[in-house]
Structure formats: C-alpha cells, structure tokens
C-alpha cells in the first residue's frame, strides 16, 4: 500500500454536488483512476457498498440503505476516505 498525502482526497470534503450534471459515474471512476485508487461497487444480499481501494486496503467506503446513483456512492466513499486520511487512519481493518 502506498502512502497517500492527507490532501489527496481534499476535493471530496464537500457534500455530493447533486446539482452538477458533470459529476457522473464515469467522472468519479476517472477521478479514482487518476489518483491511482481502485474502486468497487457491490450489491449482495441486501448490502449495498461502494469501496475505494489503495490496494490491498480499503481506504473509504459508503453503505447506503437504499440504491443511490453510482456517482454519489463513489463520491461518498471518497469523502469517507478523505476523513480517514485527515484522522491518520488510512485503512479499514
């Protein structure tokens, strides 16, 4: 796992910009790939989850109670990763 600077995910400190039509799933995937982060989306047995990876560790995740737009799920997982970086915790156990 590579070290991520604390400001790597700074863009995602704000709430999801639902009113911005440019923030699509493709845009969010491009953001992850530009940051050299992996991403995954799962819907298994009622659990919905978006994960952001700094392989082999998950650095951010988002688990909504209902299906939401994929772009929002990725944004929220990146926002969670941003919070972890700021707190000095870089991965889920």
- Parse the chain into domains and list their residue ranges: 19-87
Helices (H), the chain: 25-34, 70-87
Q: How far apart are CA 81 and CA 19, in angstroms?
A: 23
pLDDT of residue 93: 59
| Between residues 93 and 9, the one the model is more confident about | 9
| Tokens linked to 68 | 């939401």
How far CA 82 is from CA of 7, 71, 72, in Å, comes to: 8, 16, 15
Give residue 6's pLDDT band: very low, low, confident or very high (50, 70, 90).
Answer: confident
Do residues 32 and 78 touch, judged by C-beta distance below 8 A? yes
């Amino acid at each position: 796992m590579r070290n991520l600077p604390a400001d790597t995910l700074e863009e995602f400190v704000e709430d999801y910009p639902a009113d911005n039509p440019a923030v699509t799933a493709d845009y969010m995937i491009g953001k992850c790939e530009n940051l050299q982060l992996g991403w995954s989306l799962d819907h298994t047995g009622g659990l919905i989850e978006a994960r952001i990876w700094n392989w082999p560790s998950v650095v951010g995740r988002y688990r909504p109670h209902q299906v939401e737009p994929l772009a929002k799920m990725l944004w929220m997982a990146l926002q969670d990763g941003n919070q972890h970086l700021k707190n000095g915790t870089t991965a889920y156990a």
